Amino acid sequence: MPLTRQQLLYRMNSTNVCLIDVRPAEEYAAGHIPGARSLPLDELEPRLDKLPEKTDVVAYGRSANCLLAHEAVRPLTAHCLHRRVRSG
């Protein structure tokens, strides 16, 4: 579900959120949201187990219409469902 900038700021200040930047590493290095982790889309699936458990994950890309964040949702959702099944 897309978040507005205000919603993201609220969630980052009030809940336990892991913010991931799914753009290529070069774009992350050029500038990113403070506190965001670089996790390029092409590296996402092999590194899913490195994401903290019991934490909301918010992925972002270049803009609201960027497909990178939308493409990240599928593996993130599948991984979260798998974790729930594994843990009980």
pLDDT tops 90 at residue 7: no
- Token pair, residue 11, equals 């969630």
pLDDT in tens, 24-51: 999 999 999 988 999 999 999 899 888 8
Structure tokens at 17: 């959120």
Nearest residue to 40 via CA among 25, 53, 51: 25
Cβ atoms within 10 A of the Cβ of 10, count?
Answer: 13
CATH number corresponding to 5-87? 3.40.250.10
Whose CA is closest to 86, among 48, 37, 56, 57?
48
Domain ranges of the chain: 5-87
Max CA separation in the chain (angstroms): 41
